[in-house]
Amino acid sequence: MATASNAKKFRVGILGYGSLGKHIHNQIQLRGDEIGFEIAFVWNRTATVLSQLPQELVLPKIEDFKLYEPDLVIEVAHPDVTKRFGAEILSKCDYFIGSPSVLADRELELSLTESIQNSKKRLFVPNGALWGTQEIRRMSNAGKLQAVEIEMRFHPHSLKLLGKLAELNATVNSTPVTLFEGPIREVCPLAPNNTNTMACAAIAAYSLGFDKVIGRLVSDPNLSDFHIIEINVYGPVTNGNQFHVLTRRMSPAKVGSVTSSATHDAFFNSIVQCRSLIDIGIVLC
């Protein structure tokens, strides 16, 4: 995307400064003139992490985001950020949600949708590690999507879980254990950091949604170098034979990492697309 040097740049605020937040910040600093982006602000729950950044870019409190006049706010911190501030952000500017698992909360989804309708802003959801997003969406558009199943396998130390799933994961020893199998809406609140790709599948397969897309979360102690994602997509039956696509993605990841290294570039590419997309509402990018 070529940008004239005197053209107004797209102002981007970043909520979260972990590995992904740093990657986004560094890419915009490096390629800002090329892609027409600039940093409006950076916020992090632990403010000391931001001590090396210019203080004029540090956002002390999320509530004050509007003072920095962002065109787009990117959340790469925690699903709770969207629960607390998502509707307010969407009332002022576009919002890029890095933790779409939070959309499994029906009331929150309705609240965000209402903000979108009132402000005509956009809520962007990145494809991330979901392979075949547009194909799933096209089948959903055509009314031909019969079922979607998505299995995600992580090393036990790469899982950040709550409640009964955390207890079950603590018992995993030498063999893989299926921690959950069922509707994605049920697993997202218990594994919000590890089910974002599942949430993307539910959004892409909107004719099925969070209640009918089936997720399987597996804790696998044999995975030391990868996260594995398998997606089964089922379509119509013709002459006794059912349309079926199986994809298997192996994303390089160190033990303990929630996000694979391959996801960083895919995530940033989705951010770059935001400026050119004209859709209103919840937009997969």
pLDDT of residue 278: 66
Does residue 136 contact residue 148 with C-beta atoms inside 8 Å? Answer: yes
Better pLDDT: 96 or 253 = 96
Q: Are residues 168 and 200 in the same domain?
A: yes
Q: Are residues 241 and 162 in the same domain?
A: yes
Q: Are residues 246 and 154 in the same domain?
A: yes
Domain assignment present for 52 = yes
Mean pLDDT (whole number) for 203-230:
95
pLDDT band at 256 (very low <50, low <70, confident <90, very high): low
Mean pLDDT (whole number) for 76-87:
94
Q: Is the pLDDT of residue 241 over 80?
A: yes
Domain assignment present for 1 = no
Q: Is the pLDDT of residue 252 over 80?
A: yes
pLDDT of residue 254: 77
Does residue 21 contact residue 77 with C-beta atoms inside 8 Å? Answer: yes
Q: Is the pTM of this model over 0.75?
A: yes
Q: Are residues 73 and 145 in the same domain?
A: no
pLDDT band at 1 (very low <50, low <70, confident <90, very high): very low
Which range is least confidently modeled, 9-13, 117-121, 133-137, 262-266?
262-266
Q: Are residues 251 and 139 in the same domain?
A: yes
Domain assignment present for 5 = no
Compute the mean pLDDT over every residue in the chain, rounded to the nearest whole number: 92
Q: Is the pLDDT of residue 240 over 60?
A: yes
Q: Are residues 251 and 237 in the same domain?
A: yes
Domain assignment present for 174 = yes
Q: Are residues 116 and 158 in the same domain?
A: no
Q: Are residues 112 and 156 in the same domain?
A: no
Q: How do strand 147-154 and strand 177-183 relate by DSSP bridges? A: unpaired
Q: Are residues 51 and 145 in the same domain?
A: no
| Count of the separate structural domains present in the chain | 2
DSSP at 285? -
Q: Is the pLDDT of residue 4 over 60?
A: no
The CATH code of the domain that includes 73 is: 3.40.50.720
Which range is least confidently modeled, 121-135, 168-182, 235-249?
121-135
Domain assignment present for 223 = yes
Domain assignment present for 4 = no
Q: Are residues 106 and 183 in the same domain?
A: no
Q: Which domain holds residue 190?
A: 133-259
DSSP bridge pairs for 255: none
Domain assignment present for 64 = yes
Domain assignment present for 205 = yes
- Percent with pLDDT over 90 in the chain: 78
DSSP bridge pairs for 223: none
Q: Are residues 177 and 84 in the same domain?
A: no
Q: Is the pLDDT of residue 281 over 80?
A: no
Per-residue model confidence as pLDDT tens digits over 124-173: 998 877 889 999 999 999 999 999 999 999 999 999 999 999 999 999 99
**Residue 143: partners with Cβ closer than 8 Å, 6 or more residues away:** 207
H-only helix segments in the chain: 19-35, 79-90, 106-119, 133-141, 163-169, 184-187, 196-204, 209-212, 261-274
Mean pLDDT (whole number) for 112-135:
90
Mean pLDDT (whole number) for 240-260:
85
Q: Is the pLDDT of residue 3 over 60?
A: no
The one-letter amino acid code at 280 reads I
User: How far is CA 260 from each of CA 85, 170, 174, 202, 224, rounded to the nearest angstrom?
Assistant: 27, 22, 22, 21, 12
The CATH code of the domain that includes 161 is: 3.30.360.10
